[in-house]
Chain A
Amino acid sequence: MSSAYQPMDEFDSMTENTFIVMPQPKNDLRKKSKGSGAQTAETPETKDSAYTQLLQGKEPIESMFLRRRMFDAMWQPLEKQLADIEKQSNNAGISEICNFIDSSYVQVESKERGQLARPFAEITTAVTFTGVNTGDHNKLFETLRARLADNGHHVALVESQYCMALPNMLKGILEQLYTSIHSSTNKEMVAVSGSNPLAKSITYDMNLLETWWALLKRQQAKPISSRVVVVLQDFEGFLPTLVDDFVRIATKYSSSIPIVLVLGLATSYECIHQSLTKPTISMLNVERFNLQRSKQCIDTAIYKIFVQNTTMLMFGAEAYKSLLDQFLLYDFSITGFVRKLKYAVMDFFYAQPLSILAPMVGTDSSSGRLSSVSQCPVRLCHDQIELVRMQRSVQTYLEHQLKRTGDRHYFQQAITSDVFLQETVLLDMMRQLVSYRQGYCLGIDMFCEIQEMSPDTLQKPIRTLHYYGISEPFEDCAHWKTLSAVVRRMRVDDMKALLARLDNVVSRSEPIDWRFSTERDVDILELLGTAIELLENPEEDGKADSVSSDEPKKRIRTRTDMENRPFLLFDNKSSDRMLQALDKCSTIVEKILCSCMQPYSSVPLYEIFYYRHSFLLDTTFSAHPRAAVQTGLGRTNYYINCDCCKTSGHKNIPGSSDTDDSDDEETSRILPSMHDTSIAYRLHQECGRLINMYDWHSAFSSVVEKEVAVLRPCTTPSQSEIQARFMRAVEEMRFLGFIKPTQRKTDHVLRLTWGA
């Protein structure tokens, strides 16, 4: 409501207002216009985007615009892709429901003989299990409704929040059905009398629906194939008695109107038994459908976006964990996942000055994957180039290049010439980044294949595999160790199958330009080829290097070996040569995997393209209310930033731990200029479980008196004023939940929180 430079009075009482402090541009317009002349003046783009020029305002304005445009260019396809994935994931379930509804109320001759008439008038009901991520359900049910409407059914979709009583509920249902039914009936029939076809005194009950339906039936010569579908989106939210009554009413009419109920259940079937009465349950003819696919959906999304190089921005291990934790630990919410992702993309282009390098990589038009690398569309300014040089990974890269090739000239040029860096070195580095990403994708695919060959207990979803892949180092990952043990124990046939699968994966993926990778001196194709050949004719291989294989020959069929390969106990057919070949093959597989799954910190420019602000994501999306209040009261400076309360020369930055310790003494000083509640809060921190009100008050007044002494030296502060202020502070503390009155001692209050 108020911006930062308004008088302090507005912030006076924390309990009375909510403040939104809009971000101010770090550099004002004066600085901007100095940078790039008249261009900044008033283009529409500057107006509507909150983007600012980074690098202390030295960033060229075109780069800023580029970042703004790049955000849209990256996010829009991504968003569409995510929406598609979400839609796809529930497609099967929704089609099942549609088929079920299409075939309801159709008399099917049962194959079994001895069928009896059913004693109950039952209503056809589809119970859908939708999972606990209630936030995503709106979208899901909207899709279902659209699909059903396309099939010609009349659908009413109701949510519990609009159905507090039966009249509301029926009104909501009938109004939706009215539009649906009457748009399909003959227009002239509807508009018989005047503009409004419904009288004012109309009562919304099922009788009305029956009339409409009879009308519709009369108009259409052939039997109607459409059904009346009533969808209760969140069954748990409805009052049980309400649904109970509704089912009984609907059942009564199911002989004249083909009504189908769809109940959306977030929890389990038990819920129906808990909330409906026995006679009502007898009326439901239930079929169950499963729609809870949020985990599969997330898996696909992660595979498509993070593994299969479709976006330039990747997530570092920490940030990825934070993204995933929110999903797995708290809510299963796809919407939440997408929101966090969007925030990260936005933050990348908003705050990372080098995000302008992203357009250097083009995507393949057919597969949507990253492929080609081209020149950066804008000329980088000196500061940006300097920033590139300052990245630690770039320095490592240059040193490595120097060591490998010995090309001093290249090194020198990269350090001194801006043009050379942008036109040559940057390009090389980006190529390496892209080829690393391609290799990584291949690695994960092979990882999956190996996992598929292993026992069921070792299966992990792709989201976890990706996490293993990016958390370094890969060789130490426990899951990989178990899997490689599985590979080592494989029989010949299994190994052959595995190698065939891996070969298939490699040939399926697009060719990777290995030239730019410095780390990988292995050729995956060649290695795989050798392994396959080895298995085909192990004897030949043995002869070829019989000189060197004397030593391993002894090792075969020792006791430890038997333990490693239990099948050897029963299988004496495979020769030693074969076993040796197997041994070699497994080593090769391990080598291939490890070379593909290098830690991402080994590639240049990873600091930029692997998003790592997990702290930002956490603080933005999972608020810590108590911590915020405690910081607000205990370290007022973070929020108010006033001059009078500055305890030391420099500002404290929240979350930076190195300043905290040295300033502890300083920040704990209580200054009279602080807010009353803050003073009371700081004083109460020194108390034990019970706080004596009188002591607290005297401490408070001694602090406050100092303030009055400073402001008005000649007057003595009035006792009653101080007492009033103290009482208000105490009340606010009680309201915020720090203290509460106790029965044990009347003049004491109980302290409720401990710790900072």
Chain B
Amino acid sequence: MSVELASYLVSEFPGRNEQIDQLLALLGQPDDPTPPGIFVYGPAATGKSSVVRELFELYNPDGQHYAVVSCIECFTPRLLFERTLNSWAGHKPSPSNRYANYARCENLVDFVNCIRDLLVVADDGRRSNDTHYMVIDQAERLRDRGPMLLTSLLRLSELTGANISVVLISNVIWDKFRPRHGGAPEPFAICFPSYTKQQILDIVAKDCPADEPMPFFMTFVDAIYEVFHRNCVDLNELRHLVAMLYPKFVQPVFEKQATRSEFPRLFKLCQPYFSAASERLYLREISTSEWQKNSAIASAKNNPEDITHSIYQMAEGSTDSLDLPYYTKFLVIASYLASYNPSRLDAQYFSRGSGQNGKRRRGRKPATENSLGGKDRQQLLGPKSFAIERMLAIFYSIISEPADSSVDVQIQIASLVTLRLLSKTSSGDRLDGIKCKCNVSLESVRSISRSVKFDIDRFLYDFA
């Protein structure tokens, strides 16, 4: 049975035969003793979870001997324990049991006891001593759930006396897991390395639409791989790009603009999509549905510039411009200035003295050489935190007409913090002397200041 299983899995997951063989060897027959811990690791999108899941589903079709739990979903140890027991006991919450779980396990002791009740005590020779598996996905989260949890899980078969194996799946190496107290046994590690180019092409070949010729499709995939593999190692991202761009690539064929053999011409027609959209698609500035809905309209028959334009428009969406009330805009500008300008130069930039102009020019001269060449420009270092009072002083000096210091300004500062345009750096219980950082990018601040006709570059130390 295991040979059939292995051959099926290998055909399903190209490039993973070594790992599959290793896993199947460890599992052996259902009642074979297994290592108490198996650690499956490797980078993202290398098929760890899918291989393990598929393998167990086929290995144990009735699903009574393994439990797959995700650490993100089971955010407390209790959930982890109860889910595992539910799977092992074949229990399902339903109206008849008032949606309760198999047993209530608040802590590890309860869990061990429940396992004993379930697997050991009930075992009066009638039951076979089959191995039970606990598959924990995103296992790196286990490290945050108390110091003893991981250790105890790895010693679970020892603690319960049952034949239990814990399979941990993670994209972090074991060295980062090892508890400090050293009580954890070393699990058996299986590494899922990144795919090679040929493996990737083999996998993507499975996505080929049924009515498309395979070699034609593979040429396109090969090109995509060559373009993107340096920046994007994630197999799924690559598949996403292929799925998004391939329809555009073949479109000229159906629109009778080119034939399937004219690759250079097809690539040229597809060019605007590659250059304008790839980054946005990768960053999901254009989502899948937006792309599919809108790109159907665009066609290679159109002017390439139109296509580029429409793609940019899709990303901007025309909706997500940040519209703030008038003074709030100035508050954002003031906090940006406070975050990126050195405070010792505030007097030069913002004082409203009589000799203001001459003074500013004199002050800026040495600053220019310093600020453009230096490695420690604030623009590169990110925002500094500033005291609210300093920001308010800048605010009152940059607004054109004098505003009263009313409570509205304070309310706006608070709402900027809730909107995360400012982030508070002083502790939450401190009510006076609040410190904040400006969380707005230079582009947004520029567009904001343009809307209020404020020339921010004149006041920025790094650009002035």
Chain A positions near chain B (C-beta within 8 angstroms): 110-120, 122, 124-125, 129, 131-132, 134, 166-167, 189-190, 192-194, 196-203, 205-208, 211, 215, 234, 236-237, 245, 248-249, 252, 265-271, 273-275, 279, 281-282, 284-290, 292, 326-332, 618, 622-627, 737
- The 8 Å CB contact of A237, one of B289, B319, B418, B441, is B418
Residue of B nearest to A280 (CB): B284
Beta-carbon contact of B444 and A198 below 8 Å: no
Question: Once the chains are docked, how many angstroms separate the CA of A211 from the CA of B207?
Answer: 32
Q: Which 5 A-B pairs have the closest CB atoms?
A: A199-B100, A119-B239, A199-B98, A286-B287, A116-B243
Q: State whether A331 touches B412 (Cβ < 8 A).
A: yes
Q: Which residue of A lies closest to B246 (CB)?
A: A114
CB within 8 Å of A: which B43-81 residues? 44, 70, 72-76, 78-79
B326 within 8 A of A: yes
Whether the pair B209, A114 counts as a contact (CB closer than 8 A) is yes
Contact of B240 among A120, A328, A737 (CB under 8 A): A120
CA separation between A116 and B292, bound complex, in Å?
12
Please report the C-alpha to C-alpha distance between residue A292 and residue B409 in the assembled complex, in whole angstroms. Answer: 22
Q: Are B288 and A202 in contact (CB under 8 A)?
A: no
Known: A166-B75, A205-B73, A215-B95. A110 touches B326 (CB 8 A): no
Seed contacts A134-B418, A167-B75, A194-B98; 12 additional CB < 8 Å A-B pairs: A113-B250, A115-B243, A198-B98, A199-B99, A203-B101, A206-B73, A207-B93, A211-B94, A249-B73, A288-B290, A289-B319, A624-B406
Q: Decide if A203 touches B288 in the complex (CB within 8 Å).
A: no
Q: For B406, what are the chain A residues with a Cβ–Cβ distance below 8 Å?
A: 618, 622-624
Chain A residue at smallest Cβ distance from B317: A288
B346: CB under 8 A from chain A? no
Partner among A132, A196, A197 whose Cβ is within 8 Å of the Cβ of B323: A132
Q: Can you list 5 pairs linking A and B with CB atoms under 8 Å apart?
A: A113-B211, A189-B95, A267-B322, A270-B320, A286-B290
Are A285 and B289 interface neighbours, CB within 8 A? Answer: yes
Closest to A737 in B: B432
On chain A, the residues within 8 Å of B283 by CB distance are 273, 281
- Specify which chain A residues have a CB less than 8 angstroms from the CB of B296 in the assembled complex: 110-112
A266 and B98 within 8 A (CB) = no
CA distance A624 to B404 in the complex (A): 8
Within 8 A of A (CB), among B294-317: 295-296, 317
Chain B min CB distance to A227 (Å): 15
**B432 and A120: CB pair below 8 A?**
no
- A196 and B95 in contact (CB under 8 A), knowing A119-B240, A236-B418, A282-B284? no
Q: Does B236 contact A (CB under 8 A)?
A: yes
Q: Decide yes or no whether B3 CB sits under 8 A from chain A.
A: no
Tell me whether A116 and B236 are in contact (CB under 8 A).
Answer: no
Q: Which of A125, A134, A282 has the most CB of B within 10 A?
A: A282
List of A residues within 8 angstroms of B101 by Cβ: 201-203
- Does the CB pair A132–B284 fall under 8 Å? no
Known: A114-B212, A207-B93. A132 touches B319 (CB 8 A): no
Asked if B92 is at the interface of the complex by the 8 Å CB criterion, the answer is yes
Q: Are B79 and A268 in contact (CB under 8 A)?
A: no
- Does B237 interact with chain A (Cβ within 8 Å)? yes
Residues in chain B near residue A118, CB distance under 8 A: 240, 243, 288
Whether the Cβ atoms of B95 and A197 lie closer than 8 Å is yes
Would B320 and A115 count as touching, CB distance under 8 A? no
**Residue in B76, B98, B418 whose beta carbon sits within 8 Å of that of A196 in the complex:** B98
Asked if B44 and A279 make an inter-chain contact with CB atoms under 8 angstroms apart, the answer reads yes
Shortest C-beta distance, A352 to chain B (Å), equals 26
Contact B320 A193 (CB under 8 A): no
Residues of B within 8 A of A237 (CB): 418
The reply on B273 being an interface residue by CB < 8 A is no
Give the complex CA separation of A115 and B209 in angstroms: 7
Q: How far is the CB of B300 from chain A (nearest CB, A)?
A: 12
- Known contacts A115-B247, A267-B419, A281-B284; A622 and B408 CB within 8 A of each other: yes
When distances are taken between beta carbons in the complex, the residues of chain A under 8 Å from B321 are 268
Encoded as 1 (CB less than 8 Å from any A CB) or 0, chain B from 404 to 433 comes to: 111111111001001111000000000010
* B251, B288, B325, most chain A CB atoms within 10 A: B325
CB-defined contacts of A236 to chain B, threshold 8 Å: 418-420
Closest B residue to A248 by beta carbon equals: B72
The CA of A200 and the CA of B97, in the complex, are separated in Å by 11
Query: Quick check: is B96 within 8 A (CB to CB) of the other chain?
Result: yes
Q: Does B98 contact A113, Cβ atoms closer than 8 Å?
A: no
A288–B93 CB distance below 8 A: no
Between A113, A117, A200, A211, the greatest number of chain B beta carbons within 10 A of the residue's beta carbon is seen for A113
Contact between A286 and B284, CB atoms less than 8 A apart? yes
Are B247 and A249 within 8 A (Cβ)? Answer: no
Per-position 1/0 for B263-291, Cβ under 8 A of A? 00000000000000000000111011110
Q: Which residues of B contact A626 (CB under 8 A)?
A: 405
Cβ contact within 8 Å between A245 and B75: yes
Nearest B-chain residue to A247, judged by Cβ? B72
For A623, list chain B residues within 8 Å (CB): 406-407
Pair B415/A134 contact, Cβ less than 8 Å: yes
